[in-house]
Amino acid sequence: MTEIGEFLVVVLVILAFLLLLGGVGIYLLVKLGQKAAGRAKQAATRLSTHVNAMGTGDAAEVERLRLDLRREVALTRQAFEHAQRQGWGLGDLPRLLADLEAQAEVHDGQLGMYAQQRRVSPYVDHATLGRLREHQATLTAMCARIRADLLGDQVQHTSAGIADLSSRTDLEIEARRRPPDPLEEIDELYRRSLDERRDRP
């Protein structure tokens, strides 16, 4: 009887372990599915923005503004990450870039809302569109200024490296040159003096 009881305990422990593994597997699949759904939603939003930007009118123009803003922010983020990988002193730029990205997200939402309203309603609010364009110009100009500053730093670092490399190259070439042989110099001077004597009348 005890053998059957031990066997049942072992079977129950194995089943409990398999149930635990199954539960963990299901949990991971649900989390993976949620991430995939979120990414699919982002991709669908981007795709619809691209499709809507191909049209004409105010709504398409606003969608193009959204695409331009996303591109500018992405380029600025890439330049910042490159500078960060190089280990340059960035000062307060990380916080500034985070604030800029947050403001760009807000502006992108406003542009999306305006484009959606413009597609649905025939009534146009030109004042709001003008302000959105001004905000767009300000945000893209800030992105361009940050990138220009980072590129200027990169060029400055590169020019210092190039100058150092050039001086090291000159030193190495000079060190590799064969020193002049004093006997050859004496022979050359002697030949010149003979040539000068022959040339004299």
CB atoms within 10 A of CB 185: 10
Q: Please report, as a single letter, which amino acid is at residue 143.
A: C
Distance CA 190, CA 187 (A): 5
DSSP annotation string for 62-89 = HHHHHHHHHHHHHHHHHHHHHHHHHT--
Residues 6 or more apart from 107 whose CB is under 8 A from it?
A: 69, 132, 135, 136, 139
Task: Specify the amino acid at residue 141.
Answer: A
Q: Which residue has the higher pLDDT, 54 or 192?
A: 192
More reliable by pLDDT, 196 or 46? 196
* Contacts for 76 with CB less than 8 Å, ≥ 6 apart: 97, 100, 143, 146, 147
Percent of the chain with pLDDT over 70: 91
20-56 confidence digits (pLDDT tens): 888 888 888 888 888 887 887 776 666 566 555 566 6
What is residue 55's predicted lDDT score, i.e. its pLDDT?
60
When pLDDT is cut at 50, 70 and 90, the band that residue 160 belongs to is confident
53 neighbors 68 (Cβ within 8 angstroms) = no
